[in-house]
Amino acid sequence: MTIFLPVAGISINVFLLIGVGAMVGFLSGVFGVGGGFLLTPLLIMLGIEPMVAAASDANQIVAASTSGAFAHYKEGNVDVKMGLFMLVGGVVGGGIGTFLIKILKQTGNVDVVIRICYVVLLALVGAIMLIESLTRPVSDETASKGDSWLDRVMIRLPFSTRFETSGVTTSAMSPILLGIMVGILAAIMGVGGGFLLIPTMTYLLRMPMRVVVGTSLFQMLFTAGATTVMQASVNHNVDIFLAISLLIGSSIGAQIGVRVGRHLSGRQLKIFLAILVLGLCVKMFLDLLMRPAHILAQMGGH
Amino acid sequence: MVLAAAVCTFFLTVAVVHAVSEGKSDREGLRVAPDVIHMGTFYGGMDVTITGTAARGDQVVVVIRGADVEEVLNRKARVGPIWVNQGKVHISGVPSLFLSFSSQPIDKILGREVIDAHQLDESAIRKQMHVSPEAYDQPVIRENFLKMKTNQNIYEVQAGRLEMGTPGPAGTPFTVAFRWSKKAPPGLYTVSAYECRDGAVAGELKATLKVDEVGFPAWMAHMAKDRAALYGAFAVIVALLAGLGIDFVASRLGKGGAVAH
């Protein structure tokens, strides 16, 4: 069954979109990682413009993180104060990212920049996952806490604030800066930033793991929401049909993934996911190097 | 009296010729089915059939054209190992869509000058196209533009695709059936059937084909473009409601919130 995506301007098989969403949702359910970093490149491969793919993925993340954040909130696992500080940064970062996209769109290289960002991101995420899963037990997620130079810098930052739910005292600037970074990534790449938020909140902000996931989802919901509004207003890139189709798939896939994940070896699965991510990275990298089929390309926009 | 009879005869003759000519027009009317294509929610292209009748012995070329447009495209070039967009190319004097179907290879039934004059094949478009800046490699740009449009299925030339039927008293019926590209933008397209005889165009029939965005996608596209901030807020509200709906379903299943993010 084909549906017409009015903003992307193409007709596409809806089951293909739901299938892609389900695949990414399945991986999210199995591994407990976000799927944004996989979803956008897969959409690009389906022929959707990188800008529309990234912006619509951000819209899809709003729905996915609403569901997750609400579930965690009911269990008291959301540090609202920390989330709000990150949110301030996230909105600023989302604004910066949206205007970066606008400038890149005018130079005509937005697609190339998004692709390059993805190659770097996928290489980093894939390599870290592979190394971690090969060298460290999967359950040992808090092992790297230590008194590093970064810890000392964090302690010296001004505006020290107590975050009761997390049980930590840190500078208010830390979550704001983290939010800015995630906001920029959300706007340019359409990712939720869980891969950046979770380790940073765990290792730098020293938040307990049960609060980390809920708070990251809480801030992601608002960052992705603000990014969606800005992308729609400035770049006219958000396709609701596309976002909803992906969401249907990812919700179903995640439910199946959670059930399947309980019966599988986490370490081997993580190695498999790392290989998948690195494979995608190599494919996108080769696409950048190989001569395109045409030396002319449509300009961004609709 | 003789003069009055002569004048009457003249006007009668004109009326008869006009009536015959009108009859001939009916006989050769060009029919496009459907003549309006709606791009709705489940739009994925459309099967289109064009039929008509040509004079006995004539060959036919059917051309569907979009309005002439000016396109601004990115030109890709290699910078280091990576292909990036480097400079813009303005291309004008080209139709937004060009489909040409003929009963035989066009160059076998028409002379090159006639083909160029009526813009009946890609070679004619290549010649008419204006590319700026002129410093760019003109033949390469022209060739790439046509290749790009062909790959998008909005430029297509197919010889032999048009079928000529059995000649009858009214002439020879012709038919061409094809899949209207789902990538063709909304607009009003001109459908022309050229009757070809002795290397020249002996007659031309015209019709139109309209492609419209309708329903929810049309509304969404309009909102996204003209009321962008409202559309953005709508997108977020829809996503929030969808997320809460998923949480509701997931908690009913006993696995609240286990969704991708």
Query: What is the rounded CA–CA span in Å between residue B130 and residue A89?
Result: 49
Residue of A nearest to B255 (CA): A255
**Which of A27, A254, A302 lies at the smallest CB-CB distance from B259?**
A254
Per-residue three-class SS string for A27-85: HHHHHCCCCHHHHHHHHHHCCCCHHHHHHHHHHHHHHHHHHHHHHHHHCCCCCHHHHHH
In Å, what is the CA distance from A290 to each residue of A117, A299, B146?
A: 17, 20, 21
CB of A39 closer than 8 Å to CB of B259: no
What count of Cα atoms within 13 Å lies in the side-chain half-sphere of residue A110? 28
Please give the radius of gyration of chain A, using alpha carbons only, rounded to the nearest integer: 19
Residue A20: helix, strand or coil by DSSP? helix
Q: What is the pLDDT along chain A (302 residues), one digit of tens a residue?
A: 888 888 888 888 999 999 999 888 887 777 666 677 778 888 888 888 888 998 898 888 888 888 888 888 888 888 999 989 988 988 898 889 888 888 887 777 777 888 888 888 888 878 887 887 787 654 444 444 455 666 667 667 788 888 888 888 888 888 898 888 888 887 777 676 776 777 778 777 778 877 888 888 888 888 888 889 988 998 888 999 999 999 888 888 877 877 777 677 667 777 877 888 888 889 888 888 888 877 887 664 32
Which pLDDT value is given to residue B230? 93
Instruction: Report CA torsion sign: A210, A211, A214, A219.
Output: negative
**Which of A61, A232, A258 lies at the smallest CB-CB distance from B258?**
A258
Residue of B nearest to A221 (CA): B240
Chain-chain contact of B81 with A255 (C-beta, under 8 angstroms) = no
Per-residue three-class SS string for B155-198: EEEEECCCEECCCECCEEEEEEEEEECCCCCCEEEEEEEEEEEC
Q: What is the DSSP secondary structure assignment for residue A169, as one 8-state letter?
A: E
Interfacial A residues in 220-249 facing B (CB < 8 Å)? 220-221, 225, 228-234, 236, 238-241, 243-244, 247
Which pLDDT value is given to residue B254? 65
- Cβ-based neighbours of A286, under 8 Å, separated by 6 or more: none
Full-prediction pTM beyond 0.80? Answer: no
Residue of A nearest to B221 (CA): A6
CB of B252 closer than 8 Å to CB of A252: no
Structure tokens at A239: 């396709």
pLDDT digits (tens, 9 = 90+) for A242-299: 999 998 888 888 778 777 776 776 677 778 778 888 888 898 888 888 888 778 876 6
Which residues in chain A are contacts of B234 at CB distance < 8 A?
240
Chain-chain contact of A70 with B243 (C-beta, under 8 angstroms) = yes
Which residues in chain B are contacts of A67 at CB distance < 8 A?
243-244, 246-247, 250, 257, 259
Residue B93: helix, strand or coil by DSSP? strand
Query: What is the rounded CA–CA span in Å between residue A34 and residue A25?
Result: 8
Q: What is the pLDDT along chain B (261 residues), one digit of tens a residue?
A: 454 555 445 444 444 444 344 334 344 589 999 999 999 888 888 999 999 999 988 999 999 999 998 988 888 888 888 888 778 899 999 999 999 999 999 999 999 999 999 999 999 999 999 998 887 888 999 999 999 899 888 899 999 899 999 998 888 999 999 999 888 888 999 999 999 999 999 999 999 999 988 988 888 888 998 999 999 999 999 999 988 888 888 777 765 444 444
- Cβ-based neighbours of A158, under 8 Å, separated by 6 or more: A171, A173
Q: What is the DSSP secondary structure assignment for residue B59, as one 8-state letter?
A: E
Query: What is the rounded CA–CA span in Å between residue A167 and residue A142?
Result: 16
- Render A97-163 in DSSP notation, one character per residue: HHHHHHHHHHHT-HHHHHHHHHHHHHHHHHHHHHHHHHHS-TT-TTTT----HHHHHHHHSSSEEEE
Query: What is the rounded CA–CA span in Å between residue A2 and residue B225?
Result: 23
Interfacial A residues in 38-57 facing B (CB < 8 Å)? none
Query: What is the rounded CA–CA span in Å between residue A199 and residue B241?
Result: 29
**ipTM surpasses cut 0.90:** no
